[in-house]
Amino acid sequence: MTHPFPSLSGYIKSHSAIGKIHSNISLAPYTSYKVGGEAQWYAAPHNWQELQATFEWFSNKNLSLTLLGAGSNLLISDKGIKGLVLSTRNFRHYQFNNDIGCVTVAAGRPIVSVAWQAAKKGWSGLEWAVGIPGTVGGAVVMNAGAHNQCIADLLVNVVILSYDGKVKTLTPKDLDYGYRTSSLQNGKHLVLEATFQLQQGFTKEDVTRKTQQNLQKRRSSQPYDKPSCGSVFRNPSSHSAGWLIEQLGLKGYRVGDAEISHCHANFILNCGQAKAEDIFRLIHHVQEKVQDRWSLILEPEVKILGEFSTL
């Protein structure tokens, strides 16, 4: 596959692009929870030249690197994040290949946007993704899914950038996909774009109708009126995490302004002025109660970044 990301070896320093790196930027506006402290350094490149310049700047510093997409599956500490936070939210290009029924999408584009674009073309395969709040990059890393389907079912390949500046194209067999997991979760690679195989030959009315039905189903069973990260915990093999939490009577339980949703027990909501610490403590409380009752350890699906108190 031809992609727009050449080797960093051809880099020419761009001082204007380096100026796009900012210090002490609050990360709360960039997460769906609307909580979190400051990034020591923050960059959100708009194009390959700016990304190259950011990596050149980063390579000359003794800094840690944290990757950020839409921030929809993320809990960032109130103390913020040291080092450079690099966001792909401005990488949004996409292209449909009518000859082979594939769509190639940049990492920062919301997966829901791709689902609707495919529906308008009558291409099937992404109807389930209409309620997924994150980006394409995050969906690939997490193997996002719904309605018994997931990213691994559709992915043809993914273009990644490693911390040493090398661009690679990987296939699903390289990614060790499992339930909401992949080898990309090691945090050593930045997803640049992904290509998905969809199915042609449907009417746009049929695909749009199915997509709309999936969206209505999610909205009827999940809360969308307050900030959240989506599902907080991975589902264990025995029962859904939401069912286990609901059986404990924890719907509506609060720590500060963080609350377990009355609508869906696997959602923790920011009901106004919640702190990241409130959400973190509520996650820990749920884990303790579930372990005490069923001897199960609920594993968070939400990625937790930064320093939190020792409970």
Cβ(263)–Cβ(288) below 8 Å:
no
Run of H or E residues at 43? strand 38-43
DSSP state of 29: G
Cβ(141)–Cβ(169) below 8 Å:
no
User: Residue 209 catalytic?
Assistant: no
Q: Is 121 helix (H, G, I), strand (E, B) or coil?
A: helix
Q: Which strands sit side by side in the sheet containing 81-87, from one edge to the other?
A: 22-26, 38-43, 81-87, 65-68
Task: Determine which one of 38, 127, 277, 301 is catalytic.
Answer: 301
Q: Is 307 helix (H, G, I), strand (E, B) or coil?
A: coil
| Complete DSSP assignment for 223-284 | --SS---S--BPPPSSS-HHHHHHHTT-TT-EETTEEE-SS-TT-EEE-SS--HHHHHHHHH
User: Residue 261 catalytic?
Assistant: no
Task: Determine which one of 32, 77, 89, 180 is catalytic.
Answer: 180
Task: Determine which one of 231, 259, 261, 277 is catalytic.
Answer: 231
What is the pairing mode between strands 81-87 and 65-68?
parallel
Cβ(45)–Cβ(51) below 8 Å:
yes
Chain length of the chain? 311
User: Residue 180 catalytic?
Assistant: yes
Residues with catalytic roles: 180, 231, 301
